[in-house]
Amino acid sequence: MMYSEKVENYYLRDRLDNHNDFKQQLLSLIDNTQDGNLVDDNNDIAKLDYNNHADFDRPWVKFLLPILVEKLGRMVYSIGYDGIIIKAIWYQQYKQNSLHNWHVHSDMYTGVYYLEYPSGAPATELYDNKLKSPNVSEGDVVMFPSITPHRSPKVINDVRKTVISYNFNVNDLNEERLKQLK
């Protein structure tokens, strides 16, 4: 007989240091790209560069990656790991009526950095036995297990939301840190 036990996934949230100091520069780098969109029966993303998610030489990625890696490194340390390996990074911009339907990612963890998050824009929704919507603000970084179904609900207002998404693996399980966490 198969045994089954319900285990809920979790998310971690923290604020990216100095967000306000570099927000406009990062948005300018993104705004000056000539990337595509994603419009199909289930999604309507106004602008994104997912097709280049493994290209770490894009100007906006080179600018943001050291800052983001440092923050994610501290976040994974809080759950017992000593390192991360970013596997993919891309941005997505949503405008009125944009949405990204339910999906999951590869790798161990995924997440969202809320680069441009105006009032009236919806937060990412996570589904794990129940619907969760992290309490986020502009400048926040969220990470969660990649197998967690999630979506970006439809933007109803006339606003633009810009997020940076990423997939990463963790390494170097820190057994001493895990003992401290218990």
Going by pLDDT thresholds of 50, 70 and 90, the confidence category of residue 173 is confident
In this predicted structure, the answer to whether residue 33 has a pLDDT above a threshold of 80 is: yes
The Cα 95–Cα 108 span in angstroms is: 29
In the block, tokens 């996570």 appear at: 126
For the chain, the distance separating the N- and C-terminal CA atoms, rounded to the nearest angstrom, is: 31
Short-list 118, 158, 150, CA closest to 134: 150
pTM of the predicted model as reported, rounded to 2 decimal places: 0.92
The CATH H-level superfamily of 12-172 is q2cbj1_9rhob like domain (2.60.120.620)
Give residue 172's pLDDT.
86
Closest CA to 113 of 155, 174, 56, 70: 70
Tell me the C-alpha distance between 32 and 50, whole Å: 16
Helices marked H in the chain:
19-31, 59-77, 175-181
What backbone phi and psi angles, to 5 degrees, belong to 21?
A: -75, -30
Question: What is the Cα–Cα distance from 120 to 162, expressed in whole angstroms?
Answer: 13
Question: What count of Cα atoms within 13 Å lies in the side-chain half-sphere of residue 62?
Answer: 4
Chain centre distance of CA 37:
18
**pLDDT bucket at 181, cuts 50 / 70 / 90:** confident
Share of the chain above pLDDT 90, in %: 78
Task: Look over the chain and give the mean of its residue pLDDT values, rounded to a whole number.
Answer: 93
- Residue 110 confidence (pLDDT): 97
Report phi then psi at 172, rounded to 5: 55, 70
Separation of alpha carbons 95 and 36, rounded Å:
14
Residue with tokens 């309507």: 44
- 7 falls in which pLDDT band (50, 70, 90)? low
What per-residue confidence (pLDDT) applies to 6?
66
* Mean pLDDT for the stretch of residues 23-43: 92
So where are the chain's domains? Answer: 12-172
What are the φ/ψ torsions at residue 45 (nearest 5 degrees)? -105, 120
